[in-house]
Every structure is written in C-alpha cells, then in structure tokens.
Amino acid sequence: MKCPGQDSRYWRPGAIFDVKCPNCGEMIEFFKDDTRRKCPGCGENVPNPEMDFGCAAYCPYAEHCLGSAAADKAGDGKLKLLKGKMLKEIRSLYQNNSKHVARASSFLELCEELGKKEGADLGLVLLAGFSLLFLPEDVSRQDMSEIQIKAQKVLERIGAEEQQARDALELLLQGTSGNSLSEQAKQNWNVIKDALTIAEFQIQGTDDWKELSDKLATDSGRQLAAHKAASG
C-alpha cells in the first residue's frame, strides 16, 4: 500500500507548484513530495521550500521514509502545531469558558499520553478525539450523516489530510454507534474513552481514583489512576 501522503490520488490543489530558483531566477516545478529539484536554468540543486513531513506525526512507518531522527523531529513539531490548532478551535467552541477549555485540553493531553503508552495510532486517536468534542452529548439520537458532515468540517479547519480525516471519522462513527470494532479500532477507541473519563473526573475535583480505575478499559489508564490514588 502506498503512503496516502505520497499518493497523488489524494493530493489537493496546490500539490504541484512553481518556485523561483534562488540562484538564477528560473522557475522550477515542484511536486509536494519532492525533497529537491535541479534548476533547469543553472543546474542548482534546490530544496523544496514547502516540504511537509506532517505524516511523521502519525504514521508508524515514518522512520522508513525519513530516518529515525528526522521522523522524531518532524513528528514532534507537527504534533505541537496540530495541538495548537485544536486548542484554538476548542477556545472558539467553548467561547473561552475556562472550565470547558481546561477539560478539553486535558482530554487531548490524555489521548496523547495514553495513546503512546498503549501503542495506539496516535494521529488517529487525536483527530477522532478532537472531533468528538464537537458532537452533541447524546450522539445515539443524532443523524449520523449530519455528525459526519460536522466532524469533517472541523477536521478541515485544522488542516487534517483527506485520508487522515476519513480514517478518524470512521473510528468516530464506529465508536459512537456502539457497533463491534476490530481489535485495532477497539484499542484506539478505548484510549479515547479513558482519556475522556479521566478528564471529566479531574474537572469534578473528586479524589476517589481507586473507584475510577474500575471504569477504565486500558492498562495505562488504570495505572495512571492507581498512581494518583497512591500519591493522593
């Protein structure tokens, strides 16, 4: 299977563009996945000024494309940028209500923390979890097509790639519908559920972490609750 970010079938307008050679001024045509192109005018080997390694934040095979050090660096930077965009949308959604913003921010941080420990698909978990914040509480009574449209729009606003958004929406719809999930999807969805449960528990300000542990589905979530119970 070809990486969606490298597959031209998934490219959006602007994936092919012209850049002026910094050496002679000749126009060089770049494809978005080109790392460098030779200038047709002077032969200068010009780097792609718009190269985006965003997939490194999510893709388990990023190391094979970029090397471990480059993948880690690109992934960390992209992840910070993504979370920044998410936080901006969250503040707008809750109109800067400090309690709701704190809950949503904690939820996303927990999605990342638990997702890493559980070996979940981190990008998928973050995007699906973020979309969940924008849905009505009683999702089961809502029109699923309307939910999909609403979630799609919010993912587009933060710049999620088409394939990433599609996968996140599929997980979101499967998880909220109560249908049976594959093992991988179940692992990802359990991370989201535990992150939301813990975030809501923290906002309530209660201290019964031991009781909370019984409600969690992931080992990492239960370990976090046990640590809090022991230290509290």
- Cβ atoms of 134 and 150 closer than 8 Å: yes
Q: Which two tokens stand for residue 40?
A: 């047709």
| Dist CA 135 CA 77 (whole Å) | 28
Tens digit of pLDDT for each residue in 162-175? 788 888 888 988 88
- Cβ atoms of 105 and 202 closer than 8 Å: no
Q: Name the pTM for this structure.
A: 0.65
Tens digit of pLDDT for each residue in 173-184? 888 877 788 899
Of all residues in the chain, what percent carry a pLDDT higher than 70?
Answer: 73
Tens digit of pLDDT for each residue in 60-88? 555 555 444 444 444 455 666 677 788 88
- Cβ atoms of 53 and 82 closer than 8 Å: no
Q: Is 104 exposed, middle or buried (0-12, 13-18, 19+ CB in 10 A)?
A: buried
